[in-house]
A = this chain, B = another copy of it.
Amino acid sequence: MDRELLKGSTPLLLLSLLCEAPMYGYQIIETVRQRTGGTYTLKEGALYPALHKLEATEFIASYWETQENGRERRYYAIQPAGEAFLAAKKKEWDQFVDMVQAFVGPKA
Q: Which residues of A contact B (CB under 8 A)?
A: 1-9, 12-13, 16-17, 32, 35-36, 39-40, 89-90, 92-97, 99-100, 102-105, 107-108
Interchain CB contact (< 8 A) of A7 among B5, B93, B99, B107: B5
Taking CB atoms, residues of chain B closer than 8 Å to A6 are: 8, 96
Interchain CB contact (< 8 A) of A5 among B9, B39, B105: B9
- A90→B101 CA distance, assembly (Å): 10
B95→A1 contact, CB < 8 A = yes
Interchain CB contact (< 8 A) of A35 among B36, B40, B89, B102: B102
Contacts A13-B104, A103-B13 given; indicate if A92 touches B8 (C-beta within 8 A).
no
B12→A4 contact, CB < 8 A = no
A13→B97 contact, CB < 8 A = no
Taking CB atoms, residues of chain B closer than 8 Å to A94 are: 107-108
A92→B7 contact, CB < 8 A = no
